[in-house]
Structure 1
Amino acid sequence: MSGLYIVATPIGNLSDITLRALYVLTIADKVYCENKHISQKLFARYGIVRVLKNYHEHNAVNVRREILADISNGKRVALICDAGTPTISDPGFKLIATIIKAGYYVTSIPGPSAAITALTISGIPTDRFLFAGFLNSKSSARKKEIQMLAQVPTTLLFYEAPHRLCQMLADLIEYLGDRPAVLVRELTKKYEECKRGLLSDLFEWAYNTPVRGEFTVVVAPPENKEISDGAIIKRLHQVLADISLSKAAKQVAEEFNVSRKRVYSICLDLKHDQD
């Protein structure tokens, strides 16, 4: 059937590919990937002979048109990434939105994901979690993003590059507190590494160890404790300068996992005091 096939590929160990993924890659009329050199290793391992074409953030606009034309002409197009599931922390979602809008078939061939794999071996609660991907590389923006996540009552998942790991951990400690966490790298490979401890322990390890490779960071949820009015007021002062009172109440209520009615009442008191 013509359409777009989102195919998950191994995150390290090439044996971690599904039979269905191999079948789809074999019958696809075209296969688009991030990096031909990386994907060719997988294809060579399984004897798949296909011309690989690049799809990445630098050529995405033009290639989306090309893929749409291919599918409209009845072709089966497969999308893969260097490792794991396409569209997770990559530009693939825009392609999928384009194909859906045009009314064509889109399906997923599920498989490995570094975030889910790290979560399952973390020993940290898995019933509810938020995947935040890569935080902003700029310090001020990254701190603001973390601050927004501080009261989210779930496990948090991040990706981070090795050269930013220490600073990212320091920012997590500053705004989330010294929570239990796990650092994972080289998942499914021979030298898979999993470091567990408090964020401060992991910072000390990363600071004193030459770190290489991309990390998945798993952080435990905040302790279940009563949120004080003072904490809510402090956060409201930070956001009210940029947004309306009703929007501020909604945002802060969601961040602290408290009722919107309570936060709105505090907002009104603040407004009354200012008047």
Structure 2
Amino acid sequence: MQKQKSYQIEPTEGVLYVVPTPIGNLEDITIRALNTLKKVDLIAAEDTRHTKKLLTHFDIHCPLISYHEHSQLTKIDTLVTSLNEGKSIALVSDAGMPAISDPGTPLVQAAIEQDIPVVVLPGANAALCALVGSGLRTDHFYFYGFLPRKNKERKEAFLSLYQQQSTIILYESPHRLTMTLEDIQRYLGNRRIAIARELTKRFEEYVRGTVDQVLEWVEHGTLKGEFCIIIEGSQNLVNEESNWWEDLTINQHVEHYIKADQLPSKMAIKQVAKDRGVPKRDVYQSYHVE
């Protein structure tokens, strides 16, 4: 077990500060974040050129070191050594909260393993802004981030997301937005969704509606900036204790999921196997062979 009292850290101890930066609007940086960036010995930045602009704007002069997905393995030891020597380091990303869909997590983990205090500051976060602005449920939500790019892993991701009853949060780049919306339609059905782009910036925009409606907008809309996609959770999951399917044959059971829930046959077969507590191969054999 490990305990940390963040406001009782010895002055000689090295501290890793996780410092959120604005996701677009520079006015969203906190006073505490600015004061922390001014007092640390070193700033570990995802892109030093990008962070330099932020520091220049606020007249902050602090040494920078690059720390990104291609350098993290070689830089972690160097940064941990500095922390163990009593130096304080601020970890920042290009925008928003470090370690959320960026390479910050391994450094945080390495610091904790060395009993180095990790102090996380609150601040801007695109996912939560988009969630609240979507108009969908916020009492329970599931942050997924960026989807896999390989087809097999992508299909598996959507299979798990189909079962998710909480509101789902995805990140996506503009050149992959259309494909992802089409996949949402294919695997999750025509649910209510919202997409948010250019959050906190001059051209901030929300588009809310069904997947079909948002796909129509995509044909003529502006696909620039990073996107957050907020997806309504599954509304069709049946209580597992209720064997509503008892009077159906296996094939009818599979057809129900294909027609009512718009699932591909592979996903429908997997769900039927789960409902009935039987091997997936038995359902496949019945549906495709017998």
Q: Same fold (TM over 0.5)?
A: yes
TM-aligned CA deviation for residue 101 of structure 1 = 0.8
Q: Do the aligned partners of residues 177 and 186 (structure 1) sit closer, same or farther apart at CA in structure 2, a change above 3 Å counting? A: same
1:153-187 residue CA offsets vs partner (Å, 9 max, x unmatched): 11000000111110100000111110111110110
Q: Given the alignment of the two structures, is residue 84 of structure 1 paired with residue 100 of structure 2, yes or no? A: no
TM-aligned CA deviation for residue 238 of structure 1 = 4.0
Q: Counterparts in 2 of 1:107-256, with a 5 A limit?
A: 107-224=119-236, 226=238, 229=245, 230=253, 235=267, 237-238=269-270
How many residue pairs get aligned? The number is 253
1:86-125 residue CA offsets vs partner (Å, 9 max, x unmatched): 0000111111111111111111011011000111111000
SS at match of 1:107: strand
TM-aligned CA deviation for residue 206 of structure 1 = 1.4
Q: Do the aligned partners of residues 268 and 238 (structure 1) sit closer, same or farther apart at CA in structure 2, a change above 3 Å counting? A: closer
**Who is 2:277 aligned against?**
266
AA in 1 matched with 2:39: I
SS at match of 1:217: strand
**Who is 1:36 aligned against?**
48
1:8-57 residue CA offsets vs partner (Å, 9 max, x unmatched): 11100001011111111010000011111211121112111112111001
SS at match of 1:121: helix
Report if the CA contact (8 A) 2:169-2:229 is conserved: yes
SS at match of 1:43: helix
SS at match of 2:278: helix
Report if the CA contact (8 A) 2:269-2:280 is conserved: no
**Identity, % of aligned positions:** 37
State the distance in 1 between where 2:40 and 2:137 align: 39
Q: Do the aligned partners of residues 41 and 69 (structure 1) sit closer, same or farther apart at CA in structure 2, a change above 3 Å counting? A: same
State the distance in 2 between where 1:269 and 1:182 align: 34
TM-aligned CA deviation for residue 138 of structure 1 = 2.7
TM-aligned CA deviation for residue 266 of structure 1 = 2.4
Q: Do the aligned partners of residues 7 and 161 (structure 1) sit closer, same or farther apart at CA in structure 2, a change above 3 Å counting? A: same
Q: Do the aligned partners of residues 268 and 220 (structure 1) sit closer, same or farther apart at CA in structure 2, a change above 3 Å counting? A: closer
Q: Pick the structure with greater CA Rg.
A: 2
Q: Which runs of 5+ in 2 are unaligned?
A: 1-10, 246-252, 258-264, 286-290
Report if the CA contact (8 A) 2:148-2:154 is conserved: yes
1:52-85 residue CA offsets vs partner (Å, 9 max, x unmatched): 1110011101110011000010000110000000
TM-aligned CA deviation for residue 140 of structure 1 = 3.7
AA in 2 matched with 1:191: F
State the distance in 2 between where 1:201 and 1:4 align: 45
Cα RMSD after superposing both structures: 2.6
Q: Do the aligned partners of residues 133 and 225 (structure 1) sit closer, same or farther apart at CA in structure 2, a change above 3 Å counting? A: closer
Report if the CA contact (8 A) 1:236-1:267 is conserved: no
Q: Given the alignment of the two structures, is residue 75 of structure 1 paired with residue 87 of structure 2, yes or no? A: yes
- 3, 27, 34: which one pairs with 1:22? 34
TM-aligned CA deviation for residue 208 of structure 1 = 3.1
**Who is 1:99 aligned against?**
111
Q: Do the aligned partners of residues 122 and 27 (structure 1) sit closer, same or farther apart at CA in structure 2, a change above 3 Å counting? A: same
Q: Which runs of 5+ in 1 are unaligned?
A: 241-248, 253-262
TM-score (norm 2): 0.80
State the distance in 1 between where 2:112 and 2:39 align: 22
State the distance in 1 between where 2:165 and 2:145 align: 17
Report if the CA contact (8 A) 1:7-1:110 is conserved: yes
Q: Given the alignment of the two structures, is residue 49 of structure 1 paired with residue 38 of structure 2, yes or no? A: no
State the distance in 2 between where 1:225 and 1:238 align: 14
SS at match of 2:277: helix
AA in 2 matched with 1:12: G
Bigger drift between 231-240 and 202-211 goes to 231-240
**Who is 1:255 aligned against?**
none
SS at match of 1:267: coil
AA in 2 matched with 1:156: I
TM-aligned CA deviation for residue 239 of structure 1 = 8.9
